[in-house]
């Protein structure tokens, strides 16, 4: 009988003891754990801190074990551990090993280009048992094709995770905003003000009005044509309105997490400044860096509460508001 297993290393993952993540078993490396304990927030070099494995069933195709491995929740595990630890946890050196006597030898491996990120973070969880409970609850949700896939939870977590790589604060803000936009835009089946058939009548009427204005000489053809192209945007719900409706739904059972219209106006304004001008426009007497970092801190705290709410209720973490964004950091 042939014995094979899938093994990999893990960067930047703090572990006190063995952790079960779905089909995977993660084991701490003592030297790496000691190194992580002395790292500060300014360190950038990754730490090889744990190893993971999954025994492979005997009936898999030995010529193509990756078809089985690719069906396992590898990415979901990596994203959730990064979220739980608030640092860039990453899988490296994926390989299939085969047993020869008492020795494991590499049978097959994949090229892997690591995306190095910050090894320092402040964990969401409180101890090993809490982390184990978090992974047991959340891994099936994030790995699920519907909740994790179609609803955008996995993709949003990918953008969130990249914030633990050193980057301009403008890009960090946009990545946090993109995470939220993915989630709220996929949350609603209908993202327009009115149903499409009803709006077609409105659109035809407006086009007729523009044509009439053109015939009377009120507007030129080169002005009328781009106006016609923009008509569809009239029927789109704004990001502010979609976001507020989304937060009302996702925080329905978490009254401490209130998002006001003024909050959304601020977030959208900063997003528009960066998208259209490259930087946030100076606002008020506060220094640019202070204002921008504060707004990104608030946005990221809100995004984290959204993830927690979507991945199952946790009374301990959702009873204090995202507006108290410096708590635990």
| Mean of pLDDT over the chain | 87
Q: For 193-236, what is each residue's pLDDT tens digit? A: 777 788 788 888 888 888 888 888 888 888 888 888 887 777 77
pLDDT of amino acid 69: 93
pLDDT of amino acid 285: 47
Residues 6+ apart with CB under 8 A from 29: 48, 49, 50, 51
**Weakly modelled stretches of the chain, pLDDT under 50:** 285, 287
* CA-to-CA separations, 25 to 119, 132, 138, 163, in angstroms, rounded: 21, 11, 16, 27
pLDDT of amino acid 55: 93
Strand arrangement of the beta sheet that strand 103-109 belongs to: 19-21, 24-28, 48-55, 4-11, 90-100, 103-109
Q: Which residue has the tokens 């320092």?
A: 120
Record the pTM: 0.85
Query: What kind and span of H or E run contains 300?
Result: helix 288-310
Separation CA 321–CA 328 (nearest Å): 12
Separation CA 246–CA 267 (nearest Å): 15
Separation CA 9–CA 17 (nearest Å): 16
pLDDT of amino acid 231: 79
Separation CA 205–CA 28 (nearest Å): 67
């Amino acid at each position: 009988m042939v014995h094979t297993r899938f093994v990999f290393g893990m960067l930047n993952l703090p572990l006190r003891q063995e952790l079960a993540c779905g089909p995977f078993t993660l084991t701490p490396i003592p030297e790496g754990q000691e190194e992580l304990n002395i790292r500060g927030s300014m360190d950038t070099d990754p730490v090889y801190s744990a190893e993971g494995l999954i025994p492979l069933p005997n009936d898999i195709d030995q010529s193509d074990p990756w078809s089985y491995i690719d069906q396992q929740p590898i990415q979901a595990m990596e994203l959730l551990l990064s979220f739980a630890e608030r640092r860039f946890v990453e899988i490296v050196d994926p390989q299939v090993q085969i047993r020869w006597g008492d020795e494991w030898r590499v049978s097959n491996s994949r090229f892997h280009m690591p995306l190095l990120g910050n090894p320092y973070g402040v964990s969401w969880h409180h101890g090993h048992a809490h982390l184990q409970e978090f992974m047991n609850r959340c891994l099936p949700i994030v790995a699920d094709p519907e909740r994790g896939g179609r609803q955008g939870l996995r993709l949003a977590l990918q953008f969130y995770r990249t914030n633990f790589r050193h980057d301009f604060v403008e890009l960090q803000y946009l990545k946090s905003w993109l995470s939220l936009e993915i989630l709220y835009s996929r949350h609603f089946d209908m993202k327009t003000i009115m149903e499409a058939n009803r709006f077609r009548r409105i659109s035809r009427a407006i086009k007729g009005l523009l044509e009439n204005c053109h015939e009377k000489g009120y507007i030129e053809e080169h002005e009328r044509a781009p106006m016609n192209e923009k008509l569809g945007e009239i029927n789109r719900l704004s990001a502010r309105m979609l976001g507020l409706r989304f937060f009302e739904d996702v925080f329905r059972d978490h009254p401490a997490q209130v998002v006001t219209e003024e909050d959304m106006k601020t977030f959208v304004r900063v997003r528009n400044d960066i998208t259209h001008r490259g930087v946030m426009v100076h606002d008020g007497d506060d220094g640019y860096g202070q204002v921008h970092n504060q707004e990104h801190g608030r946005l990221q705290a809100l995004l984290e509460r959204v993830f927690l709410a979507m991945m199952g209720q946790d009374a301990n973490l959702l009873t204090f508001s995202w507006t108290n964004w410096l708590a635990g950091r």
